[in-house]
Amino acid sequence: MELNIKRTAKVIGEISLKDLGSYGSFIFYIVIAALFLLIGDYTIFYTLIVSLAAVTAVVMFFRLSYNKPRPGMKKRRYNLIYEAVDNSSFPSIHAARSVMISIAIYAKAPATFPLLALMVLAVCASRIYFRRHDIIDIFAGLILGFILGFLFFL
């Protein structure tokens, strides 16, 4: 068996980038909310849940109004609302959620800012690298995340 170091490094890098991208996922957001619930910070817990519903509603509105296909895909009509929302890329909900969760954590622990900023950048890089979004989708998601994050957490 021949070890291809370059190929192995690429695969490890891709797996790591994909894992870092989960920082902007729905599940991660719920886990963070649950942690705040467990430590007894009910205000942040409820705010996280309401803000998650808000960002989801705003993104669904944009994706249903402006059906922008993901990079490399052609625009088409979908029979189910879920398909239309899932296959549209504008704006990036992962970018928005990663910013919002970072602002929520920053509001409680400002010293974490450098790590939070790196995590947001990793999410954005992951979404572009895996061709789920282009730069416009990412910037729109970041702007949405900052607006909602400031409204809900600061």
pLDDT at 84 over 90: no
In three-state secondary structure terms, 32 is: helix
pLDDT tens column, 113-154: 999 999 999 999 999 999 999 999 999 999 999 999 999 999
Model confidence band, residue 83 (pLDDT cutoffs 50, 70, 90) = confident
Is residue 69 reached through a cis peptide bond, with omega within 30 degrees of 0 on the bond before it? no
- Phi/psi at 41 (nearest 5 deg)? -90, 80
Measured at the CA of 133, the angle between CA 70 and CA 18, to 5 degrees, comes to 115
Q: Please give the share of the chain, as a percent, with pLDDT higher than 70.
A: 99
Distance separating alpha carbons of residues 118 and 114, to the nearest angstrom: 6
- What is residue 45's three-state secondary structure? helix
- Cβ(60)–Cβ(68) below 8 Å: no
Identify which of 153, 128, 151, 149 has the alpha carbon closest to the alpha carbon of residue 18.
128
pTM summary value: 0.90
Q: What is the mean pLDDT of residues 82-111?
A: 95
Residue 1: the pLDDT is 60
Q: Which long-range contacts (CB under 8 A, 24 or more apart) does 71-74 make?
A: 71/131, 71/132, 71/133, 71/134, 72/131
